[in-house]
Amino acid sequence: MTNYRLALIPGDGIGVDVTDATMEVLRAAARNRFTLEAETFPWSCEYYLEHGQMMPGDGIETLKGFDAIYLGAVGWPATVPDSVSLHGLLLPIRKAFTQYANIRPHRLLPGVEGPLKAEGFDILCIRENTEGEYSGAGGRVHMGQDNEVATEVAVFTRKGVERILRFGFEQARARRKHLTSVTKSNAQKYSMVFWDEVTKEIAAEYPDVTVSHMHIDAMAAKMVMAPQDLDVIVASNLFGDILTDLGAAIQGGLGFAASANICPDRTGPSMFEPVHGSAPDIAGKDIANPIAAIWSGAMMLEHLGEAETAAEILSAIEAATAQGIGTRPGSHSTSDITAAILAALEA
Ligand code: NAI
Ligand code: MG
């Protein structure tokens, strides 16, 4: 029987609750098909307060040997600044393992009433995760003076743009075969014109996938007016960041938004995590919705090659929401929702 080695980083706040719920569901779904061997790492804000760092110096080295990483959520702003928790754990992991594709499925689950009439809304947002507007290139000069200058340079490399688009086309091929590339090439005449050119080149390799080009502002409107017309969306780091918050809102909120940081070349482990944070306001109350986390766990199994089991978990989530379980904030506890999903898996 195949055994998968998972590194679990539950993190802070509700990250811990939803990681527990996820592992319970994944183990039940694995049944006697494969085994999950999980090692838990206590890297979190609490760990930081004790050790002065979010993870040990050899943390990345340690994670290297795992088949996948599962993360709950990190952050406890009352004691540790968010810049520390983010830059000390999440970002180094994404960078070290070249997880250049941040993917988020947005879909309205049965029984969930989003803010829009979005029947048939089912998209996959693919965000470039390593460069672009968040490359960190730039600087500040003449600080504090009236001629002060700040620059933030968006960096787009041929390698970076080609690989994210190729990944997007592969995903589109496995879905409804439509890809929308999001840019702003009317205003950003170097980077985004370049992105458009690369899109055309890569599209030639995928004649079975239809391609649309949209500007980010028009895309924002499209996602509200006709989200059901979209399938796979590929966007830069900044644009993808914004569109995925919009996608999460349309699907009913953070309780449902799953994500993965994928290293498509498989040179290192990929990392799976719900989009939401540690939610200090509801931590320890057994009211966090675990659906986003469990869905992210299903994405992990799919990535590991267990697509059938992943699909069963998704069906179990849908069976639970179709009965109205976990569809509205506060309607059910974390444990009730988890139990309903487990029961649906059994059925
Ligand atoms: P948040 O996502 O933790 O919470 C925002 C709001 O959504 C809160 O009212 C919360 O109660 C609610 N919420 C979030 N997840 C929920 C769930 N599963 N079920 C029900 N309600 C849910 O974002 P916030 O408050 O901005 O950040 C809190 C901490 O989390 C910060 O330290 C932040 O840096 C960190 N964070 C970490 C992330 C990560 O680990 N990837 C992502 C986002 C934030
Ligand atoms: Mg965001």
Check which CATH number belongs to the domain holding 127 and give it. Answer: 3.40.718.10
Q: Which residues of the chain carry a pLDDT beneath 50?
A: none
The Å distance, Cα 146 to ligand 2 centre, comes to 32
Last residue of a domain, one of 250, 272, 298: 250
Instruction: State the pTM of this model.
Output: 0.96
What is the number of the ligand 1 atom nearest to the C-alpha of 86? 34
Residue 166 belongs to what domain range?
A: 115-250
Separation of alpha carbons 148 and 61, rounded Å: 41
The pLDDT score that the predictor gives to residue 144 is 96
Rounded to the nearest angstrom, the distance between the alpha carbon of 14 and the centre of ligand 1 is 8
Judge if 127 and 246 occupy the same domain: yes
Looking at the fold, whether 104 and 9 belong to one and the same domain comes out as yes
Residue nearest to atom 37 of ligand 1 (CA): 277
Q: How far is the CA of 242 from the centre of ligand 2 (A)?
A: 6
Q: Are residue 243 and residue 257 in the same domain, yes or no?
A: no
Please report the DSSP string for 69-129 in residue order: EEEEE---TTTS-HHHHIIIIIHHHHHHTT--EEEEEEE--TT---SS--TT-EEEEEEE-
Task: Let me know whether 177 and 303 are in one domain.
Answer: no
pLDDT, tens digit, for every residue of 61-83? 999 999 999 999 999 999 999 99
Same-domain pairing of 239 and 266? no
User: 3-class DSSP state for residue 252?
Assistant: coil
Q: How many domains does the chain have?
A: 2
Q: Whose CA is nearest to atom 16 of ligand 1?
A: 255
CB-proximal residues (5 Å) to ion ligand 2: 241
d(CA 331, CA 87): 35
Domain closes at, from 232, 250, 268: 250
- Predicted confidence at residue 318, as pLDDT, reads 98
pLDDT score recorded for residue 296: 98
Same structural domain, 169 and 68: no
